[in-house]
Amino acid sequence: MKEVSTKLLVIGGGPGGYVAAIRAGQLGVPTVLVEGESLGGTCLNIGCIPSKALIHAAHAFDAARHQAHGSPLGIKVQEPSIDIAQTVRWKDGIVKRLTSGVGALLRKAGVQVHKGWAQIEDGKTVTVQPAEGEPVRVRCEHLLLATGSEPVELPMLPFGGAVVSSTGALSPESLPRRLVVVGAGYIGLELGMAYRKLGVEVAVVEAAERVLPGYDEELTQPVLDALEKSGVVLHLGCSVQGYDEEHGVRVRSVRADEFALPADRVLVAVGRKPRTTGFGLESLQLDMAGRYVAVDAQCRTSMRNVWAIGDITGDPMLAHRAMAQGEVVAEVIAGKHRRFEPMAIPAVCFTDPEVVVVGKTPGEARAAGLDCIAAAFPFAANGRAMTLEATGGFVRVVARRDNHLILGWQAVGQGVAELAAAFTQSIEMGARLEDVAGTIHAHPTLGEAVQEAALRALGHALHI
């Protein structure tokens, strides 16, 4: 068997793994990266990027449909149609450009990429089995686990045929007439709303009593309003019992009533689980934190020179968290002093309207025993939101009452994802309400709502 030696071996070419490898290469650390499928991992290939492409296409089609029925903007068009095969090809083109770019960046950094499936022999030895050809044994000084996560499969709704995960939902050969989405978390609602905009009849089944149960109710109310307005049918406080082509999805409500939802396709979006099996991880006998690999503030595991980042290390399962962890690991291995101790990690839900949460919500601040001010500014009073026909939603700030230190930001509305960086930066830099309130924000922009929220918390908002 051919053998390769390196200082750092990265298992997994997703956002965490490829960023770690690129940064290590930049710092002169000999690095090998192993990826069984495509560079970019779930995020670039079957997650973040393709879902946002499909969401954009659905939004554009929905806008055209509404203009065909009379637009206050004066736009007149004929009834539009969509070629979903072309939409998928366009989406795949974006994915290909990005994954090709990742490959080029890895080559530029001097990283050796081996395409194949890794099997761990011990903390310093991994066998890589390519799809074709002989296996390669890689010996390393440092082993970085960046294997990501995979969709949770329900025993009563196994994937296959009409039952799909988010992966299948992102590359439809055709659009179903009726789609049932199981799970009203961010993945289920992002894709459910996109399919509804594409003209599909959509029903959502959720065990909790409200949509986006991980977010506070005030923040999710505009999303609930949008779902109901668009015609998405919600079955909250309900559980699925199974599916068959003749009757559809069998559902049981909290009252123990059972009914069936007709469905040509079923999207199961009930969460993701860390990918910790199938590649010999158990042989390392690492300390675990529940189902996740336990790590410290430098992403070290319980075994010397074995590191772990991303979804296998716990929540939040977000690509940008994995990227930041990957950079930390590379720099520590290169001899730099780094720790992964962020003040806040932004979370964005790309529903329509979008939802952003950074830092503490008012409820979380109260639960932590903190005396805080919370103030919101509505987009109904924002000029830019009016010109975008997007006046629903608001920006909210949470700050300590005694010294006005900002602890959290939340926003719901069209385009608020682009405010996430400003929210996070203010918390990382220890900004106070006066810092944001005294910063000149461009007019007319949605960002003015950020300044106005801070002003309102101080008791002197200007435009409300």
**Residue found under tokens 């393709």:** 50
In this predicted model, what pLDDT tens digit does every residue of 316-327 receive, in sequence order?
999 999 999 999
Continuous segment of H or E residues that includes residue 222: helix 217-230
Q: Using CA atoms, how far apart are residues 227 and 245, in angstroms rounded to an integer?
A: 26
* Ranges of the chain with pLDDT below 70: none
**Residue found under tokens 């050969």:** 173
Give me the pLDDT at residue 255, please. 78
Catalytic residues: 443
Give me the pLDDT at residue 256, please. 75
Closest C-alpha among 326, 456, 437 to residue 11: 326
Give me the pLDDT at residue 107, please. 98
Q: Are 177 and 264 in contact (CB under 8 A)?
A: yes
Q: What is the set of domains in the chain, with CATH numbers? A: 2-49+87-150+273-333 (3.50.50.60), 163-270 (3.50.50.60), 347-457 (3.30.390.30)
Q: Which amino acid is at 102?
A: V
**pTM metric for this prediction:** 0.95
Q: At 436, is the secondary structure helix, strand, or coil?
A: helix
Continuous segment of H or E residues that includes residue 115: strand 112-115
> Kind of pairing, strands 372-378 and 394-400?
antiparallel
Closest C-alpha among 90, 248, 251, 276 to residue 183: 251
